A = this chain, B = another copy of it.
Amino acid sequence: MELNNKQLEIMEIAKALFAQHGFDATSVRDIAQRAHINVAMINYYFNSKENLLDTLIMHGVEAYKLDTSKYNTATDPFIRLEKMIEHYVESKFSDLNLYQILTSEATAKKRISHTSVFKDLRQYNIQCVREVIEYGCEKGVFRFYDPVLLHTTMIGTFLQFRTNRSVLEELLPLPADKTNDDYLQLELTTHLKFVLRAILTYG
């Protein structure tokens, strides 16, 4: 499937709208207006509104899979854990809108194809988390903890951060020299590092 620039542009605009208002609440005319194109172009390029959704999900979902090479170089289990968390948060932050769509799709489960895409992604990432835990156990510095639960807390904390961004900006002291996004990403990463370290070395 080759996508031209026009298609990518439409996808980007649709993604933002789907994320903000939801798939059903976004009309093809909304998208067309924002993209300064005729309504018919959406069906011309993507056949249907639903296929547009499919396409943009499939096109971007790969970026969310953990890349083990990004942290497996570290031999110290603590460093490896921290690097994984950094990489994890970073990959999600790189496209918040798509992840928003992905989660809504997963909860609505109206279009089961997306549910299974999401499921596969999570299965894969949980396995990555498991390996990091087990590595620390082998080295004798971690207690073992269920990777499913650990992953649930990671992703859950992240999503709450995302959802309640506006509230967090009010409640967390915001240094003036940092942009909101950067600061929030750092704050979240620090928090997650602390939580996971605490869990894995507790007692």
Contact = CB atoms under 8 A, between A and B. Distances in A.
Contact of A160 (B156, B168, B203): B156
Interface in A164-179: 164, 167-168, 171-172
A2 to B, nearest CB: 32
Contacts of A199: 194-195, 198
* Cβ-closest 9 pairs across A and B: A156-B156, A156-B160, A198-B202, A24-B25, A24-B24, A198-B198, A156-B157, A152-B160, A153-B157
A6 interface: no
A192 to B, nearest CB: 9
Taken together, the copies of this chain in the complex come to: 2
Contacts of A24: 22, 24-25
Interface stretch (A59-67, A81-89, A102-110): A102-110
A103 B153 CA distance: 17
A153 B164 CA distance: 12
Contact of A202 (B160, B172, B191, B197): B197
